């Protein structure tokens, strides 16, 4: 009975119910050896002898010995090669020098191809194309065809090799074709589109050859490594058309393709379909699906998949649980992640460096530095050597916990361990210094970075700008803003937000408005809280009507563009929390308006209050 496979092509979903794709229980695809014979020793003996006839033409003669025949055909092939090499337009005159019975004899064809391949590979391909224009010309024998195909593959002339196959005069045997296809698949420098073209050509053009399942699976795997899911579906379509039945590995590759496309429900349904047939893909494929559901916080599906794996005899490995722990930590369930981490150790699993680092990162982000530090010591005690990323995780944790002394000690320890500083580690330490208000040290560290071969990036500048803004040093923040441009860097939302906040606090609201205009010119969408800064800034300097006008404009602008709230760290953030006012800009506007009305003389208060109430009602309604 056939199964359902969900095939996505050209942004459309096809539900394929095909007896062609009947998944059968087999072992994983076996990789075929790609070792290729260095040469082929072929004793080619012509079926008929040749002799030189009138006007230099070579003709058939049936009265020579075998040895004489071989010498004559070899001499004829040599002369053909000499003409091809010497004459640029030999195609139109070759038949005038040799009779068809000589020129198109299988032995002569093979000899010419071998001689040309050793001298000029492109000429041998040109000769092959010429042969294809003559129906009477025989194809090269399998050994000669294989030699030509391998020679073109050695030159990475993949398109030329496909052209040779397409002529139908190059017909290598099964082993040579499989070796050629595997060489093409494993060669990452070859465009994946050419790989698919080759498999499509071989599967449809050569009637004597059927592409085996191992080649199909290898090509699917190669397409996945290149993140080319479009080719995965194209190959799968060709595979069905060729009548090749898939196995558990095939289903696993399709599941991975769905995961890359974030079509998790389709991947889940396909896995359920094949598992009902008794086919369980490998742990890698199911782990990828588990990882994606974990990122989305869908731990109900994660639990189902774990039970499915175990019931199917595919035991989860440390990488499976690592993806679950990471998903739990990213979704704020650090306690559950830590519980699973400890249970793994009790059940005999040996967490690796990545698993330890993932758990330490989750603990650091929730401020549980004591537990994180104990886990760090446990990791080192097991002989796991922290890498630069692991150091950065715990340094960042101590920086955010305002334990800069501990962070600096670990930073120096990282250098002593032979790990080089990176843009990530420098930015982490600069953020820690900025949080403590040690702006001069932070600035000096950024200026020393180029001497270490590390160029500051937009996050470096964003962190420093925000640090100086927090200190109220707008002058230095503006200098860094200008320097960012001079270094050829593109500012982000997090570059502008602290500057706008500081300018509004200082009463320089018009300067802040100019920065917002600059953001929009650069197609950067201001955070929602930016409006609060501007409105609050106008209200502080008593310009309530300007605040109302700004708010009305922003409401219209935002609704017209469908603007939603952004994360402060969106699009090139900083290493610090971005200041973002809490509450509503409209509330701030109303509060300021009421204060102004209360300060008016009693004779004007009622009239002004009525006027302001009407304006606020109009703006709020719009």
Rounded to the nearest 5 degrees, what angle is found at the Cα of 377, between the Cα atoms of 374 and 378? 85
Residue 430 lies in a domain: no
Q: Yes or no: say if 201 and 162 are a contact pair by the CB < 8 Å rule.
A: yes
The pLDDT score that the predictor gives to residue 609 is 40
Q: Yes or no: say if 24 and 250 are a contact pair by the CB < 8 Å rule.
A: no
Q: Yes or no: say if 341 and 363 are a contact pair by the CB < 8 Å rule.
A: no
Element (H, E) at 52: strand 50-52
| CATH code (residue 478) | 1.25.40
**Spans of the chain, pLDDT less than 50:** 1-64, 559, 562-571, 581-583, 593, 596-597, 599-622
Cα 281 to Cα 290: distance, rounded to the nearest angstrom: 13
The pLDDT score that the predictor gives to residue 621 is 43
Q: How many CA atoms lie within 13 A of 118 on its CB side?
A: 10
3-state secondary structure 548-586: HHHHHHHHHHHHHHCCCCCCCCCCCCCCCCCCCCCCCHH
The pLDDT score that the predictor gives to residue 65 is 55
Last residue of a domain, one of 98, 113, 140: 140
Range of the domain at 586: 466-621
Cα 221 to Cα 44: distance, rounded to the nearest angstrom: 41
Strand partners, 170: 140
Which of 275, 277, 336, 349 shows the shortest CA–CA distance to 309? 275
Q: Yes or no: say if 533 and 581 are a contact pair by the CB < 8 Å rule.
A: yes
Cα 111 to Cα 588: distance, rounded to the nearest angstrom: 91
Residue 608 lies in a domain: yes
Q: Yes or no: say if 121 and 153 are a contact pair by the CB < 8 Å rule.
A: no
Residue 33 lies in a domain: no
The pLDDT score that the predictor gives to residue 588 is 54
Residue 117 lies in a domain: yes
The pLDDT score that the predictor gives to residue 187 is 82
Last residue of a domain, one of 122, 140, 158: 140
Residue in this structure with the two tokens 């509450």, named with its chain if needed: 583
Nearby residues of 572 by Cβ (< 8 Å), 6 or more positions away: 458, 459, 462, 490, 491, 492, 493, 494, 495
- The count of domains in the chain is 2
Cβ neighbours, 10 Å, residue 199: 24
Write the CA distances from 617 to 179, 535, 609, 611, integer angstroms.
78, 17, 12, 10
Nearby residues of 600 by Cβ (< 8 Å), 6 or more positions away: 608
Strand partners, 8: 13
What secondary structure letter does DSSP report for 14?
A: E
Cα 246 to Cα 232: distance, rounded to the nearest angstrom: 13
Cα 193 to Cα 125: distance, rounded to the nearest angstrom: 22
Cα 467 to Cα 194: distance, rounded to the nearest angstrom: 52
The pLDDT score that the predictor gives to residue 541 is 84
Nearby residues of 71 by Cβ (< 8 Å), 6 or more positions away: none
Residue 613 lies in a domain: yes
Residue 313 lies in a domain: no
Phi and psi dihedrals of 52, rounded to 5?
Answer: -80, 125
Last residue of a domain, one of 116, 140, 164: 140
The pLDDT score that the predictor gives to residue 42 is 30
Residue 254 lies in a domain: no
Which of 448, 405, 404, 401 shows the shortest CA–CA distance to 426? 448
Which of 221, 224, 205 shows the shortest CA–CA distance to 213? 221
Nearby residues of 216 by Cβ (< 8 Å), 6 or more positions away: 199, 235, 239, 244, 246, 250
Residue 294 lies in a domain: no
Q: Yes or no: say if 548 and 539 are a contact pair by the CB < 8 Å rule.
A: no
């Amino acid at each position: 009975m056939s199964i359902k496979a969900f095939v996505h092509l050209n942004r459309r979903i096809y539900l394929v119910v095909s007896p062609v794709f009947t998944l059968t229980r087999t072992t994983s695809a076996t990789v075929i050896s790609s070792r290729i014979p260095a040469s082929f020793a072929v004793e080619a003996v012509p079926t008929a002898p040749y002799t030189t006839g009138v006007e230099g033409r070579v003709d058939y003669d049936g009265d020579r010995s075998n040895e004489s025949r071989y010498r004559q055909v070899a001499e004829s092939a040599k002369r053909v090669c000499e003409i091809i090499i010497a004459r640029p337009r030999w195609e139109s005159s070759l038949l005038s020098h040799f009779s068809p019975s000589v020129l198109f004899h299988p032995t002569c064809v093979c000899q010419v191809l071998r001689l040309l391949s050793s001298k000029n590979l492109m000429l041998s391909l040109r000769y092959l194309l010429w042969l294809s224009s003559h129906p009477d010309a025989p194809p090269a024998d399998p050994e000669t065809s294989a030699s030509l195909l391998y020679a073109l593959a050695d030159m990475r002339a993949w398109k030329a090799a496909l052209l040779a196959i397409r002529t139908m005069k190059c017909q290598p045997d099964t082993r040579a074709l499989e070796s050629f296809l595997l060489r093409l698949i494993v060669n990452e420098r070859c465009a994946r589109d050419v790989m698919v073209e080759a498999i499509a050509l071989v599967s449809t053009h050569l009637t004597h050859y059927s592409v085996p399942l191992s080649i199909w699976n290898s090509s699917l795997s190669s397409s996945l490594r290149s993140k080319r899911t479009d080719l995965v579906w194209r190959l799968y379509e060709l595979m069905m058309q060729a009548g090749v039945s898939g196995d558990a590995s095939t289903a696993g590759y399709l599941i991975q393709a769905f995961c890359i496309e974030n079509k998790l429900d389709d991947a889940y349904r396909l896995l359920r379909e094949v598992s009902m047939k008794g086919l369980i893909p490998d742990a890698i494929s199911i782990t990828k699906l588990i990882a994606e559901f974990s990122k989305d916080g869908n731990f109900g599906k994660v639990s189902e998949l774990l039970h499915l794996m175990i019931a199917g005899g595919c035991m989860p490995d440390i990488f499976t649980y690592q993806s679950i722990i990471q998903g739990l930590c990213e979704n704020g369930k650090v306690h559950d992640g830590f519980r699973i981490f400890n249970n793994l150790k009790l059940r005999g699993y040996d967490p690796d460096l990545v698993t330890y680092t993932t758990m330490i990162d989750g603990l650091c982000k929730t401020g549980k530095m004591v537990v994180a530090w104990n886990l760090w010591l446990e990791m080192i005690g097991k002989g796991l050597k922290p890498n630069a990323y692991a150091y950065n995780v715990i340094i960042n944790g101590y920086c955010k916990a305002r334990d800069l002394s501990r962070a600096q000690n670990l930073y120096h320890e990282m250098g002593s361990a032979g790990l080089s500083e990176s843009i990530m580690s420098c930015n982490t330490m600069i953020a820690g210094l900025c949080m403590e208000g040690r702006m001069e040290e932070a600035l000096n560290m950024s200026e020393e970075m180029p001497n270490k071969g590390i160029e500051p990036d937009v996050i470096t500048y964003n962190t420093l700008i925000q640090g100086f803004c927090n200190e109220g040093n707008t002058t230095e923040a503006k200098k860094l803003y200008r320097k960012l441009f001079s270094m050829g860097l593109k500012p982000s939302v997090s570059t502008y937000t602290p500057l706008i906040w500081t300018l509004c606090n200082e009463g320089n609201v018009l300067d802040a408005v100019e920065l917002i205009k600059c953001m929009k010119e650069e197609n950067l969408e201001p955070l929602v809280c930016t409006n609060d800064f501007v409105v609050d800034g106008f209200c502080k300097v008593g310009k309530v009507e300007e605040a109302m006008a700004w708010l009305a404009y922003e409401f219209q602008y935002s609704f017209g563009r469908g603007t939603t709230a952004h994360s402060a760290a969106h699009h090139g953030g900083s290493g610090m929390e971005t200041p973002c006012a809490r509450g509503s800009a409209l509330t701030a506007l109303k509060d300021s308006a009421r204060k102004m009305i209360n300060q008016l003389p009693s004779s004007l208060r009622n009239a002004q209050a009525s006027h302001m109430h009407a304006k606020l009602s109009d703006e709020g309604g719009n």
